Amino acid sequence: MYFQPLVDIRNRNIVGAEALLRWHNPELGNVSPDEFIPIAEQTGLIIPIGQFVIEQAFSASHHWQSHFMSQFKIAINVSPKQFREDKFVDLLTSLLAQYHINPSSVELEVTEGVLLSGDQIINSNLSAINDIGVSISMDDFGTGYSSLSYLRSYPFDTLKVDKSFINDITVDPGDLELVGAAIAMGHGLNLSVVAEGIETEEQYQLLSALKCDYGQGYLFSKPLPKAEFEALLDAQHKPE
Ligand code: C2E
Ligand code: MG
Ligand code: MG
């Protein structure tokens, strides 16, 4: 499990992390989650893996919430199959209690793939998650299909603008327009907006001018193992 800092755009302070899986295989080397997550989905292995991810993320955040920031935010990616489990919300509720995590500090990231099926179970799980006070964010916003109708129909709290749009905002006026519109729309719907994949100071300055709320990207930090992430928090909290 790796953790990538989520920063407040106004002051660049770390306010939380996204939990990201890593797999190092002795024969294959490092396998990207973009490759192994879809296979884990197909085989059903995503269910135990997903539970492992939530436990690791909660255990780390409990530590960071008690040592650094009580409101430290933890974002966890949830895949479609996990979401379709009828026991998903029960599992989430019991892990929140077991790791002493305040539901308001947790954000589950879903992609349109989760919503696409339109199953009733997805609807009821989304409302149940909302009811227990856990936030829901739309990941990779701008890619895929008709995200706008989903935003209206489901109880989202956050919009994560896909890094493919952030990538060219300094060179492509069209992308800059789109990102500005996504931020304005998010704010109009009372959502916070996160920009993914901020790599340069220039991108950061533009997003700051557009009043984007939060950011993630190599400019601030790559995803890090727990101990290295903690060193960043430690540095941020050292008295000047
Ligand atoms: P995602 O949720 O959109 O995660 C953001 C991806 O962008 C991560 O890739 C992260 O390392 C990468 N990234 C962050 N900042 C930058 C940047 O400045 N530049 C560039 N080029 N990339 C940046 P990663 O870790 O390879 O994960 C890929 C995808 O795999 C994730 O996309 C997510 O959909 C999925 N994934 C990762 N961990 C999990 C997990 O625990 N459960 C599930 N269901 N999916 C996961
Ligand atoms: Mg994500
Ligand atoms: Mg994303």
For 35-91, write each residue's pLDDT tens digit. 999 999 999 999 999 999 999 999 999 999 999 999 999 999 999 899 899 899 999
Q: What mean pLDDT value characterizes the chain? A: 94
Residues 6 or more apart in contact with residue 94 via CB below 8 angstroms: none
Residues with CB under 6 A from ligand 1: 4, 20-21, 32-34, 37, 53, 77-79, 109, 139-140, 163, 196-199, 216-218, 223
* Protein residues near ligand 3, an ion, with CB under 5 A: 139-140, 196
Predicted local confidence at residue 130, as pLDDT = 96
Query: By alpha-carbon position, which residue is closest to atom 22 of ligand 1?
Result: 197
β-pair type (224-225, 29-31)? unpaired
Query: By alpha-carbon position, which residue is closest to atom 21 of ligand 1?
Result: 197
Question: Is 2-231 a domain of CATH 3.40.50.1460?
Answer: no
Q: Give the Å distance between the CA of 205 and the centre of ligand 3.
A: 21
Nearest CA among 65, 87, 85 for reference residue 74? 65
State the alpha helices, DSSP H only, in 71-197.
Answer: 80-84, 88-98, 112-116, 120-131, 147-153, 163-166, 173-188
Asked if pLDDT for residue 143 goes beyond 90, the answer is no
Q: Give the Å distance between the CA of 167 and the centre of ligand 3.
A: 13
pLDDT tier, 120 (very low <50, low <70, confident <90, very high otherwise):
confident
Q: At what angle do helices 33-43 and 46-67 cross, to 10 degrees?
A: 130
Mutate to test the pocket of ligand 1, among 2, 20, 207 (most ligand atoms within 8 A of CB): 20
pLDDT tier, 114 (very low <50, low <70, confident <90, very high otherwise):
confident
Choice among 17-21, 22-26, 113-117, 193-197 with the minimum mean pLDDT: 113-117
Choice among 89-103, 112-126, 130-144, 194-208 with the minimum mean pLDDT: 112-126
Mutate to test the pocket of ligand 1, among 31, 36, 77, 216 (most ligand atoms within 8 A of CB): 77
Predicted local confidence at residue 152, as pLDDT = 83
Q: Among all ligands shown, which has an atom nearest to the Cα of 217?
A: 1
Query: By alpha-carbon position, which residue is closest to atom 13 of ligand 1?
Result: 197
Predicted local confidence at residue 238, as pLDDT = 78
Q: Give the Å distance between the CA of 215 and the centre of ligand 2.
A: 12
Asked if pLDDT for residue 222 goes beyond 80, the answer is yes
Domain boundary assignment for the chain: 2-231
Predicted local confidence at residue 240, as pLDDT = 60
State the alpha helices, DSSP H only, in the chain.
Answer: 33-43, 46-67, 80-84, 88-98, 112-116, 120-131, 147-153, 163-166, 173-188, 201-209, 226-237
